[in-house]
């Protein structure tokens, strides 16, 4: 048996999709019926033969990434005085990408919002009704 965190793996499948760095995406289907996509790099670091708690899973996920980031910082010769600026710039970039993705998702329901705060309750209601309609169709109602 294989686990990711406390969840037992039922099956895995290659998706045929790749990260921008050409790392294959793996779909993991868990025994509880849920599924999740992982880059193969991440998958190889977090899969194990025994279950673990959320803290241990976080360590398995984050420590290898920090190791790679530290290697990149050393290779580029980043100065200690630049670390806080670099961290702020990275966080700004991540926030901007997240907001843009959320706005694109909302744009199927309302004209493209400039930020998620512009979403109105009508759009939220439409999405929830649509989700229920999809569930009803799937079960034959």
User: Would you list the DSSP string of 75-136?
Assistant: HHT--GGGHHHHHHHHHHHHHHHHHHHHHHHHTTTSS--SSGGG--HHHHHHHHHHHHHHHH
R_g of the chain computed on alpha carbons: 20
State percent of the chain over pLDDT 90. 70
pLDDT at 112: 73
Same-domain pairing of 38 and 96: no
Residues 99 and 62 in one domain: no
Looking at the chain, the whole-number percentage of residues with pLDDT higher than 70 is 96
Domain check: are 93 and 63 in the same one?
no
77, 97, 116 - which closes a domain: 77
- Mean local confidence (pLDDT), 84-94: 97
pLDDT at 138: 66
pLDDT confidence of residue 141: 64
pLDDT of residue 64: 97
- Which pTM value belongs to this model? 0.77
């Amino acid at each position: 048996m294989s686990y990711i965190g406390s969840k037992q793996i039922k099956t895995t499948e290659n998706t045929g999709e790749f990260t921008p760095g050409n790392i294959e995406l793996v779909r993991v289907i868990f025994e509880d019926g849920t599924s999740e996509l992982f880059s193969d790099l991440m998958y190889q670091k977090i899969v194990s033969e025994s279950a673990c708690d959320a803290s241990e899973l976080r360590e398995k996920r984050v420590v290898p990434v920090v190791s790679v980031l530290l290697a990149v910082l050393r290779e580029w010769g980043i100065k200690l005085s630049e670390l806080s600026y670099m961290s702020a710039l990275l966080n700004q970039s991540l926030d901007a990408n997240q907001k843009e993705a959320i706005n694109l998702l909302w744009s199927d329901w309302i004209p493209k919002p400039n930020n998620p705060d512009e979403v109105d309750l009508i759009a939220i209601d439409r999405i929830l009704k649509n989700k229920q309609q999809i569930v009803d169709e799937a079960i034959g109602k």
